[in-house]
Amino acid sequence: MLRRIAMLSAHTSPLDQPGNGDAGGMNVYVLELSRQLAARGIEVEIFTRATSRHQPDVVDPEPGIRVHHVAAGPFEGLVKNDLPSQLCSFVRDVLRAEVEREPGHFDLVHSHYWLSGQVGTVARERWNVPLVHTMHTMAKVKNAMLAEGDAAEPMGRVYGEEEIVRLADRLIANTEEERRELIELYGADPERVAVVHPGVDIEVFRAGRQREARRLLGIPEDAALVLFAGRIQPLKAPDVVIRAAAIMLERDPSLRDRLMVAVVGGASGSGLERPSALAELSAELGVQDVVRFVPTVGQRELADWYAAASVACVPSHNESFGLVAIEAQACGTPVVAARVGGLTTAVSDGVSGILIDGHDPADYASALHPLLTDPGLREAMSHKAVRHAEGFGWDVTADRTLAVYDQAITTHREFHA
């Protein structure tokens, strides 16, 4: 019987606000999955790196969930690429958590992202338990689809991911596309790679409330609102949305009185080097009057933005899944997105949204404009978006993840019998 899981999220805490720094869809994934497991009577202990001396060593945010803030390197000033050098300290404290308990305290380790996977391979051997790993993003995929101004992932990460693929008992891919990449690019054993889609909280992200959401946010009822939500960095391509807005206004000047582009989120990654770049671009293109920058918001206010929007735009250069797209659709908002990675699963092309090949702003302008100006088209796509999103509940994600855990435990026991 599965009693207790060690969940590893080394570089970012599931308690952090998504949209700031390195916090994003993975934070939501780890927390929501943990909630579902805890609701099923499974204790989840999450290990993440402490980023402030004021954080308690241990916090219990919800029944059945315990978060350990592990001191590994300086509390502040480290970026993600600095963290590999701090993994020894992180591993030491993770292993100590087992030493201080009765043998067999954890039944399984589930690691997220390659940094946690490196820790997980050590815990797997020391604790003699199976390791399940979720990549979330992969260096080889990212390097093949780099955005202009983005830095390539280092070879150390590539080697680390290859080691995880070799040692993990099971790998969880967000989509069939990610499964194929794991097999073809990393040589993963097909029998050890399972596909489990992330989910969406359909109680928080609800449709049929555009008027209410616009009133709460102070947005005019007749606004043609394009929403970009997420971390502000080249990988996510928010500049494409702003450039597309400029093209729409050039093609249809009458839209100017109603058009609004909301960019919700904070700078991250290489975007930290030029935090004012998008504002400068807006001024350069003469669209600063229609662009509104909104700092990162909590999940419920983010749901208001999704509900208020006429259309959400996700022009990322790569996405392992694209949680923003699913959340927007759950709120009844059609999505225009890049035809990359998990977005081809998250968006039903021509049904719940429109997928675009490449990142030419003119193509995005052509896709966005009808959804902003044709109420009938938007309404039809909105209804289909809700139905599409309903197939991605977190309860389904948890059930399928538990099936993967069971397979990993069974195989591990047979191997070590």
DSSP 299-316: HHHHHHHHHH-SEEEE--
Report whether 80 belongs to an annotated binding site: yes
pLDDT of residue 218: 96
- Distance, in Å, from the CA atom of 303 to the CA atom of 297, rounded to the nearest integer, reads 10
Report whether 155 belongs to an annotated binding site: no
Report whether 93 belongs to an annotated binding site: no
The residues that bridge with 353 in the sheet, in sequence order, are: 335, 349
In the DSSP assignment, the letter for residue 267 is B
Of 271, 270, 229, 226, nearest in space to 361 by CA: 226
Residue with tokens 């979330």: 136
Tokens of 193: 């790679």
CB-CB contact of 9 with 48 (8 Å): yes
Q: In CATH, what number does 4-199+394-415 get?
A: 3.40.50.2000
Report whether 142 belongs to an annotated binding site: no
- What CA–CA distances, in Å, run from 349 to 338, 345, 381, 386? 10, 9, 10, 14
Total count of residues recorded for the chain:
417
Classify strands 58-62 and 65-70 as parallel, antiparallel or unpaired.
Answer: antiparallel
Report whether 26 belongs to an annotated binding site: yes
What is the chain's alpha carbon radius of gyration, rounded to the nearest angstrom? Answer: 21
pLDDT one digit per residue (tens) for the chain, 417 residues: 799 999 999 877 888 765 555 556 788 899 999 999 999 999 999 999 887 888 888 999 999 999 999 887 666 665 667 677 678 888 888 888 877 788 789 999 999 999 999 999 999 999 999 999 999 999 999 999 887 777 889 999 999 999 999 999 999 999 999 999 999 999 999 999 999 999 999 899 999 999 999 999 999 999 999 999 998 989 899 999 999 999 999 999 999 999 999 999 987 655 455 668 899 999 999 999 999 999 989 889 999 999 999 999 999 998 988 899 999 999 999 999 999 989 999 999 999 999 999 999 999 999 999 999 999 999 999 999 999 999 999 999 999 999 999 999 999 887 766
Report whether 288 belongs to an annotated binding site: no
Report whether 22 belongs to an annotated binding site: yes
Task: Say if 4-199+394-415 and 210-389 have the same CATH topology.
Answer: yes
Query: Which residues fall within 8 angstroms of residue 201, CB to CB, at 6 or more apart?
Result: 32, 299, 394
Report whether 27 belongs to an annotated binding site: yes
Query: Which residues fall within 8 angstroms of residue 300, CB to CB, at 6 or more apart?
Result: 204
Report whether 223 belongs to an annotated binding site: no
Report whether 210 belongs to an annotated binding site: no
Report whether 23 belongs to an annotated binding site: yes
Report whether 306 belongs to an annotated binding site: yes
- Distance, in Å, from the CA atom of 387 to the CA atom of 385, rounded to the nearest integer, reads 5
Query: Which residues fall within 8 angstroms of residue 93, CB to CB, at 6 or more apart?
Result: 47, 68, 70, 71, 72
CB-CB contact of 109 with 2 (8 Å): no
Where exactly are the structural domains of the chain? 4-199+394-415, 210-389
Q: Per CATH, the architecture of 210-389 is what?
A: 3-Layer(aba) Sandwich (3.40)
Q: What share of the chain is helix, strand, coil (3-state, %, to 5)?
A: 50, 15, 35
Report whether 384 belongs to an annotated binding site: no
Report whether 157 belongs to an annotated binding site: yes
- What CA–CA distances, in Å, run from 123 to 60, 188, 193, 260, 303? 22, 21, 20, 50, 38
Report whether 18 belongs to an annotated binding site: yes
Report whether 303 belongs to an annotated binding site: no
- Distance, in Å, from the CA atom of 389 to the CA atom of 49, rounded to the nearest integer, reads 33
- Distance, in Å, from the CA atom of 325 to the CA atom of 64, rounded to the nearest integer, reads 29
Query: Which residues fall within 8 angstroms of residue 151, CB to CB, at 6 or more apart?
Result: 270
Count the alpha carbons within 13 Å of 19 in the hemisphere toward its beta carbon: 20
Report whether 3 belongs to an annotated binding site: no
pLDDT of residue 413: 84
CB-CB contact of 240 with 315 (8 Å): yes
Report whether 410 belongs to an annotated binding site: no
Of 58, 236, 51, 35, nearest in space to 148 by CA: 236
Report whether 175 belongs to an annotated binding site: no
pLDDT of residue 134: 97
- What CA–CA distances, in Å, run from 236 to 230, 318, 319, 345, 377? 8, 8, 8, 17, 27
pLDDT of residue 409: 95
What angle (nearest 5°) sits at the alpha carbon of residue 215, between those of residues 214 and 217? 65
Report whether 327 belongs to an annotated binding site: yes
In the DSSP assignment, the letter for residue 145 is T
Query: Which residues fall within 8 angstroms of residue 274, CB to CB, at 6 or more apart?
Result: none
CB-CB contact of 22 with 267 (8 Å): no
Q: Which run of H or of E encompasses 142?
A: helix 139-144
Report whether 297 belongs to an annotated binding site: yes
Residue with tokens 């977190």: 394
- Distance, in Å, from the CA atom of 327 to the CA atom of 346, rounded to the nearest integer, reads 10
- Distance, in Å, from the CA atom of 338 to the CA atom of 316, rounded to the nearest integer, reads 6
pLDDT of residue 23: 55
pLDDT of residue 79: 66
- Distance, in Å, from the CA atom of 397 to the CA atom of 200, rounded to the nearest integer, reads 9
CA distance from start to end of the chain: 17
